[in-house]
Each structure stands twice: as structure tokens, then as C-alpha cells.
Structure 1
Amino acid sequence: MSSLRPDDPRLLSLPTPCAMIDVAALTRNIDTMAFHARQAGIALRPHAKTHKCAEIARLQLEAGAVGIACATIGEAEALADASVGPLMITSPLAGDEKYARAVQLGERVDLTLTLDHQDHLAQIEAVKSRNARPISVVVELDVGQGRSGTQSVAAAISLAERAVFSPAVVFCGIQGFAGQVQHIADHDAREAGARQVADTLRQTLTGLRQAGITADIVTGSGTGTFGFDCAGPFNEVQVGSYVFMDADYRRITDKEGGALPYEQSLFILTTVVSANREGQVTVDAGTKAVAFNGPMPDMILGAPNGSSYHFAGDEHGVVRLPPGRKPPRLGSRLLLAATHCDPTANLYGHYIALSGKSAEKWHVLGRH
């Protein structure tokens, strides 16, 4: 349970809505994931798309991460500016402008790019100068999400062969991210989905070996399938949401029906702005303060147990109270756990990170 309290004197002067981090819970999450990865003998490359924050990335690296994954060139540039690396951009880029930025970025930080088409490689070759150092690349497979990645094992092998012989890049391995599996609540169904992904990656590795190509990196995975993916063929994982957690990931169960071993560390501080209606209060956190592509916030600190949050517009939310319970007073503060942590974090320019008696401002980088 979080140690944050909405009546903490440090919070009373903060403008709301405001993104808050329970640093003690955050640190425990980072240490727990690092411990499990070490036990499994698998490398961690945590995904910065969740937090977009140099301070958190540094904590992950200090805990043993081999690098940081980024979703966009903007995230990677911002983290490099903060002296964070190595970095991997896990989504394919497009266009000369972005590839030119990537080549420049590769001159100042250890950088890996993701490809899923021959034209991606051709674009790198077109913008890279002869004197620039080769860029590391991984080939992405579509392992069921239907978003990006090669559409067959044969296509992945063909692209890898092309990369091996290109002077512009260094082929490092393959990537398979199963976003469609991460949030399956039922343990057995989630495990079955992860097993299908693993089978596709193993087929690709077999084909690469038959072609005489070595894939040193097999990367992907996520918070929801980490426990299954440690069995292979992944040798590094791009876990992200475990640092913050959210209402969606708290629905996921382990084999015994319990929750994942991570705590909620990201909260939205909000103020009660209206208390005229019986059985509910209105707060100043709506769709501009909390991402709405997930279940409703399931943890509301400062409201009676059993209270529920509902969106009520851009700037407002409604907290409905159990029958007979005393409502929070007008002007009081509440703490909402995030619905979907990644896009919620992207709504803010900074976090207030609370640890012990200190309160620090940690900036959110590379927002888009």
C-alpha cells in the first residue's frame, strides 16, 4: 500500500491536477523486477515510454538494466541529452528527417534501431555518411499484435540477411512485442498467448541459424508476460508499466489468482471542487488529467472505501460514494491511481516525487 496521503502538508500548496510519484514504492518495483531478472538470467531493457523520465531511467540502470528502450526518436534524444544510455528505439522510423536525427543520435550514444522493411534499411543507408559509425539494428516480427513487424518468418530472415551485408548497420537480433497478450487477466490464457509468441521467435531463430546468421539479442516482452518470457527464447525484456502500475495491470492474476508483485507508485493529486450533490463529489481531474483508455481508477486515497471514479468531462471527474458515507469536504485533496499509466504520464510536464521528507520535481521528457 502506498505511503502517500492526500493530507500530506507538502501537497496542500500544489496546483491540481498534479502527477505524484511514491518514490519508495517506485524503488521497490524497480528492485523487484531487477531481482527476478537476475534470478532468471535475463537482461532488462526497461521501456521509457511508461515514465519518460531521466531520474527513473537512471534508477533502472543503477539496478542493473543493460539499457533503456524508447518508443520515439524524441524520447531517445531527450534521454540522451540527460546523459542516459544505451538506448533502443523499439518502433520503426520513417522518413529522411527522422533517420537523419537517428544517425546523429548514434554518434553520441549507443543506439539500436528497429526495422521491419527493406525500405527502412535503405533509408538508413541513404542518410548515413560514409564516416558515421554503423548503427545497431534489430528486425521486428509481428507476433500477433497486428501493428508493425514483418509478416512472416521468411520476411524477417530476408531482412536480416540484407542487414548483415549492409555497411551502414550492424545486425544484432530480433524483436517480438506481444501487446495483445500483456493485459490478458487470466493467467492460463496469458501464458498460452506468450507461448505462441515464443514459438514464432524460435522458428525465426532456427531459420537465421540455417542461413548462417547469429541473433545475439531476442528482445520484447512486457510486464504482463515477463514471468513466462523468462523461459526463452527472449534473452532481454522491455518491461515498462511495472514501475508505476495501473488499474489495468492490477486485474492480472498469477497462477494462484494473486496480483503481480508490483505496487501502485503513480498517482494523480486532485481537488474536490464541488460537493453539492448527495452521494458524490466532483474533482478537477478529467480526461485531460487521467488517460481514459483503460478501466476506471480503482484506487482513490482520501475517499471512503468503496468509492468509485467516473469521467465527467475534460476538466472534471465524479467520485461516487458508498451509501451513508461522509463525503470529502470541498477543497480537500484526493489521490487517484492511474487508469493506463503510459498515456497518463504523457499528460504532465513533470512529476512531484515524494520520498521521506523531500519533494522533488522530475521532468517528463520527449512528450508528444
Structure 2
Amino acid sequence: MVEQEWYTIKDVDQLDTPALVVYPDRVQYNIGLVKAFIHDVSRLRPHVKTHKSPDVTKLMLQAGITKFKCATIAEAEMLGMCKAPDVLLAYQPAGPKLERFIQLIKAYPDTSFSCLLDNIDTANGIAEQALKNDLQIPVFLDLNVGMNRTGIVPDKEAFELYKACLSINGIKMLGLHAYDGHIHDADLAVRNERLNEAMKPVYELSDAIIDSGYPEPVIIAGGSPTFPLLADVKGVECSPGTFAYWDRGYQLAFEEQKFQTAALVIGRVISLPDDGKICIDIGHKSVSAENELAKRIYFLNAPELVFTGQSEEHLVADAGKGHHYKIGDVLYGLPYHICPTIALYERAITIENKHIKGEWRNIARDRKITI
């Protein structure tokens, strides 16, 4: 029972719900643990898509982490505002996004920004805009190792594209980017086997580049599921993201990673619609709803609830006939998928010593901050 009480908020009566709360001491623990996994902090390039917070970013900077990864211009700007030294926009900027990326680079000179590309047209487009603005933009070749959404397959064609980009004025080719988000097997041995299969052609491409006399490419790879495996691969920069807050989904799937869940969605029972049923104020707009109903949120202090329906503002659960729940009862919910859940909240309420302390603004949840 003692283990389950870490989340209790003594002054929870002051908290309107639904509310996102975070526990800074657990976030700091997770930052320490992610460093312990990899030993060399210079090989860490955490993804900020999970927390979207300058406060968490600053904790990472204080811990000696200097490289970051992000997916949106707003996330990149948030990192620039924090004076993060090295930021990869893990996206191919095109159209207005490329114009915004150029503005970002010029607005935050203390940060070195880079981006991805996977074709010669994008390379030339980035280079053209870079030269117009007297810039040399660092880029990484985006490789498709199984996600099948962006990237070029790491083969001879990728090698030729890499070489071609090395000679384009306006861009500076730094290395290779390989995201393996399709690999999330619970069995660590199976995960390792699939990872080795996916990364083998990446390493071969890197060797071919070196053997041809070009500088050794930086390799940025992986996400949270494969992080413990890639952490042991010398020279590879790793990009876990969920570790900052962790969640129910990863807690169940990846037992070898002992990160602490550090963000919850607090809700209340607001209605008792009929015998055995309760209604909670946590709808689609309060917790990520892409998973099946049973795998959206897990109530730490009400694990027996069986969900029967959810709409924009309501979650209906079967509590069993003769249940003990009353109007106003507080429920501490652990999301199955924390990343899109964070994007639903403009702020996270911080909890320290079991009391409401302050708030962290999730400013990078917006599509635009200033640029």
C-alpha cells in the first residue's frame, strides 16, 4: 500500500479537474536513470515531444544534457528559448515550415539547429533558402529502417544521395538518422534481434561513407523501446523521450526500464447514472484516446474499474453493484500514452511533498510560440 501512495495530493480539494499533474522529484530521478543507462551523456539526444516543457528541458540541461531532438517548430523554439546548444528538428521542412525554420535559426543564434532530408529536391530547397539567408544548415539523412513513413532505405541509392548532399553549398551533411518506432516487442531478446536487423544496413552505410574517405557520419537512432539496447552501441546518439514522464503503456511493456511514472491526470466522480455505473470527468479531451477504451487510463486508486464508454468530457465506468464511490471522489489516473496526453494541456500542476507547488507550462504544445 505504501508504494501506491506516492501520488497522493493532500490539498487536492484545491485542484479543479480534469488536471494534469507532474511530480518533479520523479522527473529528476528519471533524468538520472537515463544518464546511468548510457554512461556517456554526450550520446544522449532526448526527444522533447513528451514533455513540451521548458522546465523539464532546463532540468536536463542542468544534468549536462546538451543535445535534443524535436518534431515541430514550436518544440524547436522552446529549446532555443532555453538556450539548448544542439537541436535536431526530426522533420523535413518544406514550404512555410522551411521559412519558419530559417527564422528560428536566425532568432536563436546560441542554438545550433539541424533538420532531416531524404531526397535531393528537399536538399536543394533547403540549400537555396539557406544561401539566400547567408546560412549553412546542418542536415541528417533520414533513413527508413521499417517505419515506412519517411526516409530513404539505407542502400546504394542512399549512399549516392549522401554523397550528393556533401557537395551542395548551403547545407552541411552531418550524418544519419534512423527511427525504429515499429520495434516495440515486450520480449527484450526479440526486440534486440529486430533492432540488429534494422540497424545492420545503417552501420553498413556508415562504413561505406567512411571507406570512401568522407568524415565519419553521426548516427542518431532509436526511441524509448530500443534505448537500453542502443545505449550499449558505441558512437550512436540515442533519442528516448517518454522517460521524462513514463506512462502505463511503457511501464507494462518494457519492464527492464525502471523509470518512474511522473505525470498523472486527476479526475473526479461527477455522476452516478445508474446502479453500478459511475461517470468521471475525463473525456477524449483529457487523455489520449487513440488506444482501445480499456487502454487509455489506469486509475491507481481504482484499478478495478471497467470502462464502458467515453465521450469528449466524460468517462463511464462499471464499478459493480453496491460500489463505494461517491460524487466528488478523486481518482488518480495514469495515462497509457503520455505524449499526446500532454498536448491536451496548456499547463502541468507540480506536486512536491504531496502538495500543490506551482505549474509548468507546456508551451510547445502550441503550433506556434512566436515564429
Fold agreement, TM-score > 0.5: yes
Contact 1:19 1:352 in 2 (8 A): yes
Cα deviation code 1:36-95 (max 9, x no counterpart) = 111x67611110111111111111222222312111122112332343442110122222
Name the CA shift for 1:325/1:28 in 2 (closer, same or farther; >3 Å).
farther
The 1:309/1:121 distance shift into structure 2, 3 A limit, reads same
2:203 matches 1:205:
no
Separation in 1, partners of 2:335, 2:94: 32
Checking the alignment, whether the CA contact within 8 Å between 1:42 and 1:230 is kept in structure 2 is no
Structure 2 counterpart SS, 1:143? coil
Query: What is the CA–CA distance in structure 2 between the aligned matches of 1:72 and 1:41, rounded to whole Å?
Result: 24
**Structure 2 equivalent of residue 106 of structure 1:** 105
Map 1:63-102 → 2, pairs under 5 A? 63-95=63-95, 97-102=96-101
- TM-score (structure 1 length as normaliser): 0.90
TM-score where L is the length of structure 2: 0.89
Structure 2: give runs of 5+ residues left out of the alignment.
Answer: none
Change (3 A) 1:358 1:6: closer
C-alpha change, 1:237 and 1:270, in structure 2 (3 Å) is same
Q: Is the 8 A contact 1:42 1:237 kept in 2?
A: no
Q: Is the alpha carbon distance of 1:251 and 1:42 closer, same or farther for their aligned partners in structure 2, counting shifts above 3 Å?
A: farther
Aligned Cα root-mean-square deviation (Å): 2.2
Instruction: Confirm or deny that 1:300 pairs with 2:302.
Output: no
Report the counterpart of residue 243 of structure 2 in structure 1: 242
CA contact (8 A) 1:2 1:22 kept: no
Structure-to-structure mapping, 1:207-286, within 5 angstroms: 207-232=208-233, 235-253=236-254, 258-286=255-283
2:330 is the counterpart of 1:333: yes
Tell me, in whole angstroms, the C-alpha distance in 1 between the residues paired with 2:61 and 2:47.
12
Alpha-carbon shift at residue 216 of structure 1 (Å): 3.9
- 1:1-368 alignment, distance < 5 Å: 1=3, 4-6=6-8, 8-9=10-11, 11-38=12-39, 43-95=43-95, 97-107=96-106, 108=108, 109-129=111-131, 132-181=134-183, 183-232=184-233, 235-253=236-254, 258-294=255-291, 296-297=295-296, 299-303=298-302, 305-309=303-307, 311-321=309-319, 326-356=323-353, 357=355, 359-367=357-365, 368=367
* CA-CA distance at 1:198 after TM superposition: 2.0
CA offset digits 1:150-204 (Å, max 9, x no partner): 13422322222122112212211101000100x3222222111111122121111
Distance 1:232 1:79 in 2: 27
Question: Using a 3 Å threshold, how does the CA distance of structure 1 residues 7 and 43 change in structure 2: closer, same or farther?
Answer: closer
Query: How many matched pairs?
Result: 358
For residue 2 of structure 1, report the CA deviation from its aligned partner: 6.4
Cα deviations by residue, 1:89-134 (Å, 9 ceiling, x for unpaired): 0122222x22122122223221111111111111112212456331
CA gap of 1:168–1:13, structure 2 versus 1, over 3 A, is same
Matches of 1:277 and 1:158, distance apart in 2 = 66
Instruction: Structure 1: state its 5+ residue gaps.
Output: none
Distance 1:309 1:87 in 2: 41
Give the drift of 1:235. Answer: 1.7
1:290-340 deviations in whole A, cap 9, x for unaligned?
Answer: 11223614631332x43344542111112333x577433201211111121
Letter in 2 for 1:226: F
Q: 2:50 and 2:139 mapped to 1: Cα distance?
A: 22
Pairwise CA distance, 1:341: 1.1
